[in-house]
Amino acid sequence: KAGVTQTPRYLIKTRGQQVTLSCSPISGHRSVSWYQQTPGQGLQFLFEYFSETQRNKGNFPGRFSGRQFSNSRSEMNVSTLELGDSALYLCASSLRTGRSYEQYFGPGTRLTVT
């Protein structure tokens, strides 16, 4: 079974621009979560989508948004990019939401904001 895939793998953007990242979960998985990983803050939860609905949200500004499609694929968008948004953005999928379902991560998208 194919794992979680994320595109693009690398991205360079300029401050003030916006960016869209894509995540395809493991086949049959309906929950997608997004995380930001930086050396200073570690792994931080952004949001979770299940059945096209945002179920949970972390403490990030409204510039960070996401959505999920009917095939469970998910996108996250960051508007008005800031230098501090440079990070590895990770997507994780799980069979369902809640309880203790295992989450499997993709390879991430490395975003650099200049």
Partner 1 sequence: GENVEQHPSTLSVQEGDSAVIKCTYSDSASNYFPWYKQELGKGPQLIIDIRSNVGEKKDQRIAVTLNKTAKHFSLHITETQPEDSAVYFCAARWTDKLIFGTGTRLQVFP
Q: Find out whether 27 and 2 touch, Cβ atoms under 8 Å.
A: yes
- Number of Cα atoms under 13 Å in the Cβ half of residue 43: 8
**Candidate list 11, 20, 22, 56; residue touching partner 1; CB under 8 A:** 56
Opening angle at CA 38, ends 36 and 93, nearest 5: 30
Strand partners, 94: 31
48 vs 85 by CB, closer to partner 1: 48
Residues numbered 66 to 95 that lie near partner 1 (CB under 8 A) are: 90, 92
Q: By rule CB under 8 A, what count of residues binds partner 1?
A: 24
**Stretch touching partner 1 by CB under 8 A, among 13-21, 61-69, 75-83, 101-109:** 101-109
Binding site for partner 1 (CB under 8 A): 4, 33, 35, 42-45, 48, 55-56, 58, 90, 92, 97-100, 102-108
